[in-house]
Structure 1
Amino acid sequence: MIVQVLLGLLIPFAGTTAGSACVVFMKNELKDKVQRALTGFASGVMVAASIWSLLIPAMTQSEETMGRLAFMPAVVGFWLGILFLLLLDCVIPHLHMHAEKAEGPKSKLKRTTMMVLAVTLHNIPEGMAVGVVYAGVITGSGIVTVGGALALALGIAIQNFPEGAIISMPLHSEGVSKTRAFLYGTLSGAVEPVGAFLTIIAAGLVVPAMPYLLSFAAGAMMYVVVEELIPEMSSGEHSNIGVIMFAMGFTLMMALDVALG
């Protein structure tokens, strides 16, 4: 069990690292359509994971004790996740891709540092999501299976690959060396296993709160999708590639969860 949990925590981080390595092997920066496609795919994976791996299990666990009100913990946890990410968005200075003006409080941080912080913000809810499902496996809640937890870890690893490339390659185009760009991209994903581990500890102490924790992670992930990824996917000249890749990411994650769960 311990080995399975450790692998589950490291799989998403491996996805980010592999994506960041693209800067070493590719000479040119990612084209706009490619970035839109990768962002759309990542969005689809995150939305499907929020529904099948987090919200549905949260409501399923609440059915026995709350009946028709089983949606309440999911609603409360979802909103707490949204507000938590909104708070982080307001207090941490960060710069999104293709943006000229940084968000959050005024800061003297370098442009590249704030770009890394923006991606790191994305990875916080993903790490929490992996942590909470593996906490469910460890505590034997019965809602989350080992296969379901693995499906979520694999899905997030798949969508982390393009995220790693999307952060490292633009950093290189900003003048950062390939080695540093790879390092920054990798470090942006390091928050995931750390966040997952901390979530496992917290969830293990508060088993009855599992539905709230699952939906909290879902709300945080949905905030990232709607506030950041979808606008990036749709910015600039009109293109349908982002929507198509969103659908592909969504169906892949849905299939993984059902097949392995």
Structure 2
Amino acid sequence: MELLAILFIPLLGTSLGAGCVYFMKGKMNDNLQKALLGFAGGVMVAASVWSLLIPAMDMSKDMDKLSFIPAVTGLLLGVLFLLLLDNIIPHLHVNDDEPEGPKTTLKKSAMLMLAVTLHNIPEGMAVGVLFAGYTAGNTAITFSAALTLAIGIAIQNFPEGAIISMPLRNEGFSKNKSFLYGVLSGVVEPIGAILTILAASLVEPMLPYLLSFAAGAMIYVVVEELIPEASRGEHSNIGVIGFSVGFAIMMVLDVALG
């Protein structure tokens, strides 16, 4: 029961961020949005390296100089997986007018939510696979490391929740509906975590590949979506500062607590 509750920590971060719709008025400031997007990207990249790729290589030490193979293979497969989802699921990024993926009659609000949901999938997988490794008794993964990743993802989910709920509110949705959609965009994370735990428990030798797979998927999201949006227009250095702060905080959390 305790484990199940921890898997919902990232969703709590999304929900708190979506709650910003109740006390923030008007459109979110562009510079604040750039900083938050950069921050989220920094957290995800740091988590990919310290929480996922390094443990994946540590688990493969018996392969000596070839211990990088599971990490590289999983990372590239994760990138390809998100590339596939990006092309088969219709979605709309923040500040964009042209949707991506196949043509659809879905409303702008639905496609905006799908975009956030799409990149929440690898975050849920990342938390799930770490907890799967811990519950399986893998010595390369500690409970504190898994908990730290869940907390780190929750921190970067806070701005994401606000970034989804605020535009919906500006489109004319009620505060309650905007909040609900913001929360729903993060529901995929605990679901993905639980499914990954179930899958990993069946194929424990695949843990290094699953860890790096989640890392590759997260890095895809950062490079394809978060960095371009944080660098758009003027004052792109604000996004860089946000990225650096997010990276530093996640790195400190992972090293100090993991």
Band the TM-score falls in, shorter-chain normalisation: over 0.9
Aligned to 1:245: 242
Shift of 1:8: 2.2
Aligned to 1:87: 84
1:29 aligns with 2:31: no
2:108 aligned partner, one-letter code? R
The gaps in structure 1 that reach 5 residues or longer are none
Aligned to 1:152: 149
1:57 aligns with 2:68: no
Shift of 1:28: 2.0
Deviations 1:165-186 (A, max 9, x none): 0000011111211111100000
Shift of 1:238: 3.3
1:31 aligned partner, one-letter code? N
Deviations 1:28-78 (A, max 9, x none): 2210000000000000000000000000000000012x1100000001000
SS in 2 for 1:30: coil
Residues 8 and 130 in structure 1, CA contact (< 8 A), matched pair in contact too: no
Alignment of 1:156-167 (within 5 A): 156-167=153-164
Instruction: Tell me, in whole angstroms, the C-alpha distance in 2 between the residues paired with 1:17 and 1:221.
Output: 20
Number of aligned residue pairs: 258
Residues 31 and 235 in structure 2, CA contact (< 8 A), matched pair in contact too: no
SS in 1 for 2:117: helix
Instruction: Tell me, in whole angstroms, the C-alpha distance in 2 between the residues paired with 1:176 and 1:90.
Output: 28
Query: 251, 254, 261: which is aligned to 2:251?
Result: 254
1:252 aligned partner, one-letter code? I
Is the deviation greater in 231-240 or in 40-49? 231-240
Shift of 1:245: 1.2
1:182 aligned partner, one-letter code? F
Instruction: Tell me, in whole angstroms, the C-alpha distance in 1 between the residues paired with 2:8 and 2:26.
Output: 29
Aligned to 1:108: 105
Aligned to 2:11: 13
2:179 aligned partner, one-letter code? F
Shift of 1:96: 0.5
Deviations 1:118-176 (A, max 9, x none): 00001000000000000011001111100100110000000000000000001111121
Aligned to 1:75: 72
Residues 12 and 153 in structure 1, CA contact (< 8 A), matched pair in contact too: yes
Aligned to 1:209: 206
Residues 126 and 215 in structure 2, CA contact (< 8 A), matched pair in contact too: yes
TM-score by length of 1: 0.98
TM-score by length of 2: 0.99
Is the deviation greater in 24-33 or in 150-159? 24-33
Deviations 1:80-139 (A, max 9, x none): 100000000000000011111100000001110000000000100000000000001100
2:146 aligned partner, one-letter code? A
Residues 127 and 196 in structure 1, CA contact (< 8 A), matched pair in contact too: yes
1:158 aligned partner, one-letter code? I
Alignment of 1:81-230 (within 5 A): 81-230=78-227
% same residue: 66
Is the deviation greater in 180-189 or in 22-31? 22-31
The gaps in structure 2 that reach 5 residues or longer are none
Instruction: Tell me, in whole angstroms, the C-alpha distance in 1 between the residues paired with 2:134 and 2:27.
Output: 41
Residues 75 and 215 in structure 2, CA contact (< 8 A), matched pair in contact too: yes
Query: 218, 226, 231: which is aligned to 2:228?
Result: 231
Shift of 1:7: 2.8
1:43 aligned partner, one-letter code? G
1:61 aligned partner, one-letter code? M
2:139 aligned partner, one-letter code? G
Residues 134 and 141 in structure 2, CA contact (< 8 A), matched pair in contact too: yes
Residues 152 and 250 in structure 2, CA contact (< 8 A), matched pair in contact too: yes
1:112 aligned partner, one-letter code? S
